[in-house]
Amino acid sequence: MVFAEDQYLVLKDICIARKSIRAFSPKAVTDDLVKKILDIAYTSPYVSGRKNWGIHVVKDQGVISHMADAVKRQVARLSHAVRKDFQKAFLSYSRNFIAFESAPVVLIPNYRISPHLTALIATPDSSIERLELENFIKSISAVSTLILLAATSLGLGSCYMTGPLIAENELATLLNLKKDRRIGALIPIGYEANDTKRGVSSRDKRKERVVQS
Ligand SMILES: Cc1cc2nc3c(=O)[nH]c(=O)nc-3n(C[C@H](O)[C@H](O)[C@H](O)COP(=O)(O)O)c2cc1C
């Protein structure tokens, strides 16, 4: 592959254009576009080069509604445990847990925890187990990031969502995921409901994050 300055600039534009979209138009996303996103996501780095992960594609509006209902039930259940003085803040925050509700497609990167390092060690070691679990979570996050960038490059809105995972078990059951599968995130994909372009200034703040050493 020939690397050119142009490619860097295109990628930079895509990164700058990406933003979290939480309200979608009902306009359908074609299977071709979904496939294009998956083709990019499957190039992701993944711990030990393992292939024990996948991306579940949900297009059935009934299933998406049931998923949102499952999350709402967990939010309601959890709200009883929230301190009285934080109830309002919690309810406002948790509204973002169902931001996938209006999307025509929800992509669900999921992974299997398959002990590799842990299995090589004679005496159970919790720090190795944690390292291994974190590696799967980090890996599926890399997959998720590529989904976001691929969607943006195709003019589609998306949002990285882990809030809905308060109902992970219910979601896994609804999706018929295999018992040993964990959900990495829910990523709604679609056309933005009100396509308001964000000002450049808030994007520019990201430059401040780079620390050189
Ligand atoms: C790990 C992770 C989990 C997130 N979970 C949610 C979520 O459940 N609901 C939501 O609306 N946004 C969620 N977000 C999106 C962030 O709120 C968003 O990225 C952040 O506010 C910055 O805005 P931007 O994505 O438009 O740059 C999540 C982001 C990350 C990285």
Please report, for the domain that includes residue 106, its CATH number: 3.40.109.10
Residue 148 has phi, psi (to 5 degrees) of: -60, -45
Closest residue by Cα to atom 4, ligand 1, is 161
Which atom, in ligand 1's list, is nearest to the CA of 96?
Answer: 11
Asked if the structure places residue 161 within a domain, the reply is yes
Ligand 1 in reach of 161 Cβ (< 6 A): yes
In whole angstroms, how far apart are CA 136 and each of 22, 55, 142, 182? 26, 14, 10, 10
Q: Is the pLDDT confidence value at 200 over 50?
A: no
Domain of residue 149 covers 19-193
Q: pLDDT, tens digit, for every residue of 19-37?
A: 999 999 999 999 999 999 9
Domain for residue 7, yes or no? Answer: no
Flag whether 127 is in a domain.
Answer: yes
The answer to whether residue 201 is domain-embedded is no
What is the rounded CA–CA span in Å between residue 100 and residue 94? 12
Q: Can you point out the beta strands (E) in 104-200?
A: 105-112, 157-158, 181-183, 187-190
Q: Is 163 in the pocket of ligand 1 (CB under 6 A)?
A: yes
133 with 147: CB under 8 angstroms? no
Residues sharing a CB contact under 8 Å with residue 149, sequence separation 6 or more, in sequence order:
11, 14, 15, 18, 40
- The mean pLDDT value for 189-194 works out to 94
Q: What pLDDT sits at residue 120?
A: 84
Burial zone of 103 (CB within 10 Å; 0-12 exposed, 13-18 middle, 19+ buried): buried
| Phi, psi torsion values for 30, nearest 5 degrees | -70, 155
Would the CB of 160 count as within 6 Å of ligand 1? Answer: yes
Q: d(Cα 122, Cα 116) in Å, to the nearest integer?
A: 12
pLDDT score of 114: 80
Nearest Cα residue to atom 13 of ligand 1: 161
Tell me the C-alpha distance between 204 and 117, whole Å: 41
Specify if 30 maps to a domain: yes
Whether the CB of 22 sits within 6 Å of ligand 1: yes
Q: How far is the CA of 19 from the centre of ligand 1 (A)?
A: 9
152 contact partners, CB below 8 Å, separation of at least 6:
14, 17, 18, 158
Query: Does residue 51 sit within a domain?
Result: yes
93 lies in a domain?
yes
46 pLDDT more than 90: yes
pLDDT digit string (tens) for 86-140?
Answer: 999 999 999 999 999 999 999 999 999 887 778 888 888 889 888 888 999 999 9
Span from the CA of 1 to the centroid of ligand 1 (angstroms): 33
Domain count, the chain: 1
